[in-house]
Amino acid sequence: MNDKGKLSASMMCAGLDKLFYFLTEFKEVNLEYLHIDIMDGLFVPNFALGTDYVKSLRRITDISFDYHFLVNNPLEKMTWFDIREGDQVSFHWENNDKIQECIDYLTRLGARKFIAINPETDFHELDEYLSQIDGILIMHTPPGFAGKKLIPKTINKVENLRNHLDSLKLDLEIESDGNITIEHAEILYKKGSNIFVAGTSSLFMNSEKPIKEIISEKRKVIGW
């Protein structure tokens, strides 16, 4: 897979004081996704983003949602949110004994199904589910907080995963999340990722540069 890459803006990193500015700019450049991190303080040592916030966000934008459930018992907690047909939803493989049930639930909703894995998780753990999902989200940093450094070995993990999918003749998407700078996005795109979560490392870190300009710069390195 080497089509144009897609961007997913991390709303956890978007300051509320500039939210309408961000959403307006995203809409003008046809941003592909808003990345919605859901954290319960148990699976990771942080809380984000709540049901009321996500419900309000849905009312003020029609940009597609890219949910990322970093929670214990994702099967239950996904039901707390208004997941719609066409939304993209990632749930974690780790600490999850209901992988098939999660896949079945999202299938009934008409959502795009992704399984997320932490930096230390072997992607081969997902082999039995690959034919039932749309993609895999790879964490390049320990999950929970923004601003951490990319773990170098996760770059080759993307390449190895893409080669593995190609060997199985599966055209799944690979989403990269965690310290995705413009430089890292360029490398990971060449290795096989095609969806990139943009947060403090490359989208919201420079208040002096227009968001549209930052997005344009990032898109240039992911096949645009």
Confidence of residue 146 (pLDDT cuts 50, 70, 90): confident
Query: pTM for the full model?
Result: 0.96
Q: Would you state the pLDDT for residue 144? A: 86
Which residue reads 């004994």 in tokens? Answer: 97
Average pLDDT, the chain: 95
Q: Which residues of 115-149 are buried (b: 16+ CB within 10 A; e: fewer)?
A: bbbbbebebeebeebbeebbbbbbbbbebbebebe
* Residue 130 predicted with pLDDT over 70: yes
Catalytic residues: 37, 177
For residue 31, the model assigns a pLDDT of 97
- What number is the average pLDDT over the span 175-180? 96
When comparing pLDDT for 218 and 204, which is higher?
A: 218
Cα 199 from Cα 184, distance rounded (Å):
13
Average pLDDT over residues 153-163: 98
Percent of the chain, pLDDT > 90? 88
- 198: helix, strand or coil: strand
pLDDT of residue 173: 98
Please tell me the predicted confidence (pLDDT) of residue 2.
62
Q: What was the pLDDT predicted at 3?
A: 85
- The residue-averaged pLDDT of 166-183 equals 97
Fold entry, domain 6-220: TIM Barrel (3.20.20)
| pLDDT at res. 205 | 64
pLDDT of 77 higher than 80: yes
* 196-200 average pLDDT score: 92
Centre a 10 Å sphere on the Cβ of residue 186 and count the other Cβ atoms it contains: 17
* 202 confidence band (pLDDT: 50, 70, 90): confident
Please state the rounded mean pLDDT for residues 35-51: 95
**What does the domain layout of the chain look like in residue ranges?**
6-220
Q: Per-residue pLDDT for 115 more than 80?
A: yes
